[in-house]
């Protein structure tokens, strides 16, 4: 679901922040003059709500292919809604198996949340369940996203790893199961990275291979089992009143979880790994002998001997369970339940005081949860693995219908949808999003909802420009096997400050590097606190520039850069391809052309240091003087602009270089490049050419690409987007 907003008007705002000196160190700016008085201004917005409805059509267990937008009708009550957009996705089609997550629309993705129940399950069952769950990762499509969470009575649901396509991180999450002493976790606010993975496959290798289990794996399982003994709760040993409280807490916690994951676009499947709770509290006793005794008592007029709770269950608890299941249905989430007690080997019964005694009613409670959301119940992982393979096949074809409802009130009301085929297809069954809520105001979302929404944007790879950003990422050779990759993010101030803003504004910046198979290789994140009472006019007129870096192995990456206004939730995502060369292998490398610009043009902020790491030498030099390059330089047709052409392994000089201007892949003649100075970088440094570039005099306003090459190695050329005319959205 997307809400597109166009703002007009605004309040006069100001800020003070950190300035990045050319050397790369943060310095305080000079005191700002008091803001001048300004006339009152008003702000408003025009909103268009776009709701994406994923639909699967299945007949005889096979997905139905070849349907178009004209084959579907979408209804809200008695009103038929026009289909404003349509896309068909076939994961098993000609381009299906090789299609990566970045090429799949967010609404068409399948999301699997593996939820391990630590409250109603035994530690040994959980230890085996996580190993079996790890085996399921191999049958998923690369575009499928998976998250891992735990539930305990004392802490409720805990997200171990957010929805990600990185199978290495998922393997870590399943084997650690969130136990803090078994994993070294970087501080990743979006929970897409559990721990750093070194040498476990990258863009040039096999990014899907799980981390090999070392000889200490069994010892790790034992340690995890001991720790889980401490965090699991002896629900089976509690009295009936305590069990009722446990179930009530469980249903409330999972209702909250359903509301939180509802912000994630796409079809969602909760794989609930548990031994189940005592369903007698919901349905009444399941003991056949006791049920017969109660029938006899009723026939003989001794119904006073029968407890209503024992015969029918607790109405309040039953209502709580039904409300929980309704929340999952509304979140478009199907619960697939797995009885992990079935994973035990012969003679390995329950631990603790009830050793050897099966948990009463657990199977029936799991069956109830699955059927209540349209899911399935599995009594063993063998059944789950085979059935999931069939389910993945059935759901491999998704039709995404976009609708734009014209009635956006009342807020808080659930809008039920019905999707039908215009021409009935005999034996076909439609599975679709059942409805939607209007997006809740960002300020009313809880932290987990905000986290999941940001992570969903990053993993989607779908660019957005509500906050306009430009990104420059340039790999440099470093002493280790990884390259040093500075990342500069330019944020357009007018879009960042659109609408009303608080006096203290948090700006969130997230940068993740994913390889072609969706594995995360490095990330950086920072929240910048801005004071909007001192210098807002310059920020609104120009913007914010952030300087950070990544450390990456050689290979090709998709850089996902998300900038979000932490007060309003308005955000922008840029996706930038980055090639990290094999510097040590002698690969000829020409970096993107670098245009120096005055650092005073932006409010400049540098990333916070990462622990004790050594900061490398500042890489952007004009002769021997540091400069700040532009991520999206603004050039004037026919007017010279100075630039630096940097490269590695260019050979002995003097060097020559050529420049071409491209628009939509076609060359525009008339530009010129004049070389002024050259400096060899030596064994480790970059070779540098100082030049001037004159764009064609007849260029019209717009965005173009400057491509620079060196003779003899045209494939090693560097390119950069540049802008002609005033800065504008996009």
Domains in the chain and their CATH numbers? 2-19+463-610+620-724 (2.60.40.10), 20-102+400-443 (no CATH)
Q: Which two tokens stand for residue 290?
A: 């006791």
The pLDDT value given to residue 667: 92
The pLDDT value given to residue 408: 65
The pLDDT value given to residue 287: 54
Q: Closest by alpha carbon to 56, among 435, 333, 394, 332?
A: 394
The pLDDT value given to residue 216: 34
Low-confidence ranges of the chain (pLDDT < 50): 2-46, 96-101, 181-185, 198-220, 222, 226, 230-238, 306, 310-313, 344-358, 728-730
In 91-155, DSSP assigns E strands to 110-117, 145-152
Measure Cα distances from 148 to 167, 194, 533 in Å: 12, 11, 42
Query: Which residue reads 């989430």 in tokens?
Result: 333
User: Which pTM was predicted?
Assistant: 0.80
Q: How far apart are the first and last CA of the chain?
A: 21
Contact 681/617 with Cβ under 8 angstroms? Answer: no
Question: Which H or E element spans position 130?
Answer: helix 123-136
> What is the distance between the alpha carbons of residues 717 and 130, in angstroms, rounded to a whole number?
47
pLDDT tens string 516-539: 888 899 999 999 999 988 867 778
> What is the distance between the alpha carbons of residues 427 and 57, in angstroms, rounded to a whole number?
10
Provide the sign of the torsion angle of the four alpha carbons 216, 218, 219, 220, taken in this order.
positive
Contact 179/224 with Cβ under 8 angstroms? Answer: yes
Q: Which two tokens stand for residue 661?
A: 């201007």
**DSSP state, residue 593:** P
The pLDDT value given to residue 703: 93
The pLDDT value given to residue 295: 63
Find the DSSP H helices in 307-380: 308-312, 315-330, 362-371
In the beta sheet, which residues pair with residue 111?
A: 145, 268
The pLDDT value given to residue 183: 45
In the beta sheet, which residues pair with residue 418?
A: 75
The pLDDT value given to residue 39: 35
The dihedral formed by the CA atoms of 403, 406, 411 and 414, expressed in degrees to the nearest 10: -40
């Amino acid at each position: 679901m997307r809400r597109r907003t166009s703002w007009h008007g605004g309040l006069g705002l100001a800020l003070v922040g950190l300035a990045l000196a050319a050397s790369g160190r943060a310095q305080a700016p000079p005191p700002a003059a008091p803001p001048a008085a300004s006339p009152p201004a008003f702000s408003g917005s025009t909103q268009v709500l776009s709701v994406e409805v994923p639909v699967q059509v299945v007949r005889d267990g096979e997905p139905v292919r070849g349907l178009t937008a004209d084959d579907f009708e979408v209804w809200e009550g008695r009103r038929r809604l026009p289909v404003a957009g349509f896309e068909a996705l076939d994961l098993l089609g000609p381009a299906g198996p090789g299609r990566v997550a970045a090429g799949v629309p967010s609404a068409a993705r399948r999301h699997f949340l593996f939820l391990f129940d630590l409250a109603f399950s035994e530690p040994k069952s959980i230890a085996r369940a996580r190993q079996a769950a790890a085996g399921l990762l191999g049958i998923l499509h690369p575009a499928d996203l998976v998250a891992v969470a735990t539930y305990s009575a004392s802490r409720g649901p805990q997200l171990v790893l957010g929805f990600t396509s990185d199978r290495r991180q998922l393997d870590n999450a399943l084997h650690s199961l969130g136990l803090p002493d078994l994993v070294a976790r970087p501080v990743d606010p979006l929970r897409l990275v559990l721990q750093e993975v070194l040498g476990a496959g990258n863009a040039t290798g096999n990014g899907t291979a799980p981390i090999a289990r070392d000889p200490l794996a069994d010892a790790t399982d034992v340690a995890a089992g001991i720790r889980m003994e401490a965090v699991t709760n002896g629900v089976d040993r509690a009295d009936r009143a305590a069990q009722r409280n446990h179930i009530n807490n469980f249903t409330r916690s999972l209702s909250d979880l359903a509301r939180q994951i509802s912000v994630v676009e796409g079809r969602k499947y909760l794989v609930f790994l548990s031994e189940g709770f005592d369903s007698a509290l919901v349905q009444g006793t399941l003991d056949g002998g006791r049920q017969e005794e109660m029938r006899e008592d009723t026939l003989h007029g001794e119904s006073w001997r029968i407890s209503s709770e024992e015969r029918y269950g607790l109405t309040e608890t039953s209502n709580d369970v039904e409300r929980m299941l309704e929340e999952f249905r509304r979140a478009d989430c199907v619960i697939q339940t797995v009885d992990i007690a079935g994973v035990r080997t012969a003679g390995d019964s329950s631990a603790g005081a009830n050793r050897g005694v099966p948990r009463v009613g657990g199977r029936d409670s799991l069956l109830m949860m699955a059927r209540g959301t349209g899911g399935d119940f599995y009594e063993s992982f063998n059944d789950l693995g085979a059935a999931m393979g069939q389910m993945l096949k059935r759901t491999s074809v998704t039709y995404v219908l976009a609708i734009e409802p014209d009635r956006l009130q009342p807020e808080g009301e659930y809008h039920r949808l019905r999707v039908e085929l215009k021409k009935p297809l005999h034996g076909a069954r439609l599975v679709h999003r059942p409805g939607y809520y209007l997006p809740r105001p960002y300020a009313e979302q809880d932290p987990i909802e905000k986290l999941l929404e940001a992570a969903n944007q990053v993993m989607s790879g779908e660019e957005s420009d509500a906050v306009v950003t430009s990104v420059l990422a340039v790999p440099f050779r470093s002493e280790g096997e990884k390259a040093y990759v500075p990342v500069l993010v330019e944020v357009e101030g007018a879009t960042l400050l659109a609408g009303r803003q608080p006096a203290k504004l948090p700006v969130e910046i997230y940068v993740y590097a994913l390889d072609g198979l969706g594995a995360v290789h490095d990330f950086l994140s920072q929240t910048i606190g801005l004071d909007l009472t001192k210098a807002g006019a310059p920020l609104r007129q120009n913007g914010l520039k952030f300087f950070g870096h990544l450390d990456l192995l050689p290979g090709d990456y998709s850089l996902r850069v998300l900038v979000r206004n932490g007060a309003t939730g308005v955000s922008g995502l840029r996706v930038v391809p980055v090639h990290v060369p094999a510097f040590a292998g002698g690969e000829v490398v020409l970096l993107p052309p670098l245009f120096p610009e005055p650092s005073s043009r932006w409010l400049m902020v540098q990333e916070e240091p990462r622990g004790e790491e050594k900061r490398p030498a500042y890489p952007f030099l004009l002769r021997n003087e540091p400069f700040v390059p532009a991520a999206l330089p603004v050039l004037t047709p026919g007017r010279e602009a100075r630039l630096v052409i940097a490269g590695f392994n260019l050979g002995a000089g003097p060097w020559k270089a050529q420049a071409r201007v491209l628009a939509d892949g076609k060359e525009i003649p008339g530009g010129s490049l004049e070389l002024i100075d050259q400096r060899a970088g030596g064994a480790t440094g970059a070779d540098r050419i100082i030049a001037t570039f004159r764009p064609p005099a007849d260029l019209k306003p717009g965005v173009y690409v400057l491509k620079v090459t060196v003779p003899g190695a045209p494939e090693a050329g560097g390119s950069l987007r540049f802008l002609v005319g005033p800065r504008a959205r996009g």
